[in-house]
Amino acid sequence: MAQIPYANAVGALMYAMVCTRLDISHAVSMVSRYMHDLRKGHWQAVKWILRYIHGTTDSGLKFERDDRLGQNLVGYVDSDYVGDLDKHRSIIGYVFTLAKGPVSWRSTLQSTVALSTTEAEYMTVTEAFKEAIWLHGLIEDLGLVQEHVNVHCDSQSAICLAKNQVHHSRTKHIDVRFHFVREIVDEGDILLQKFGTADNLADMLTKCVSRIKF
């Protein structure tokens, strides 16, 4: 396996993913975990991505003018509970859109193990909020003043957890750093809203989707 240009291929795909191809970010983040010790199966997955790219070289990002809400920054989050088979960590995914086009996206493994799906979603929301705060400031510098950012999440329990200051036996282990979310929600800078899975753009960052949703 030593002669295989695995790292080169993953690096090349990663550059495309970072610039315009958020549709491959989940697949690339999967294969990039095995750089140091790869097997045939990993290389097959990389070849699969290359074949996918082969059929979709013309795809990219599209930004559109929309006078109703399109100019606003909107976020979508999703997580995949225990998406990683080695350390049983969950996968987080978020995407922010501006003018109907995606501007910021990420699909990555969580830094710590989540004990429940709610916790996994909640940790994802935290990551997305950090990004939202930064983007909110950035677009304000560019002259796009927006009162608050909407972040859509398909987990009702994570939303309840963020809005409610109740202490539950099953959530008391969730670290203080994740309660950062509550503070932000309280301040009203970012609104957390329920959103159906079918419309969730971040879905494609956490699992294999059959077609491009955007």
Partner 1 sequence: MIALKSKVEIDRLKAQLRTDFEMKDLREAKKILGMEIQRDRRKGTVCLTQTQYLKKILQRFGVDGKTKPVSTPSTPHFKLSASMSPHTEK
Applying CB under 8 A, which residues contact partner 1?
Answer: 5, 8-9, 12-13, 15-16, 19-21, 23-24, 26-27, 30-31, 33-34, 37-42, 44-45, 48-65, 85-86, 101, 208-211
Q: Which residues of 141-158 are buried (b: 16+ CB within 10 A; e: fewer)?
A: eeeeeeeebbbbbbbebb
Which of 78, 151 has the CB closer to partner 1? 78
In angstroms, what is the minimal distance from the CB of 185 to partner 1? 33
CB of 6 to partner 1, least distance (A): 10
Minimum CB distance to partner 1 smaller for 65 or for 173: 65
CA angle 9, 13, 16 (to 5 degrees): 150
CA-CA distance, 158 to 167, in Å (whole number)? Answer: 13
Q: What minimum distance in Å lies between the beta carbon of 197 and partner 1?
A: 17
| Nearest in space to 205 (alpha carbons), one of 116, 86, 112, 104 | 104
Query: Nearest approach, Cβ of 127 to partner 1 (angstroms)?
Result: 22
| Neighbour order of strands in the sheet with 101-109 | 101-109, 91-98, 74-80, 149-153, 190-194
Cβ 122 to partner 1 shortest distance, Å: 26
Q: Which is nearer to partner 1, 51 or 163 (CB)?
A: 51
CA 170 to CA 160: how far, in whole Å? 14
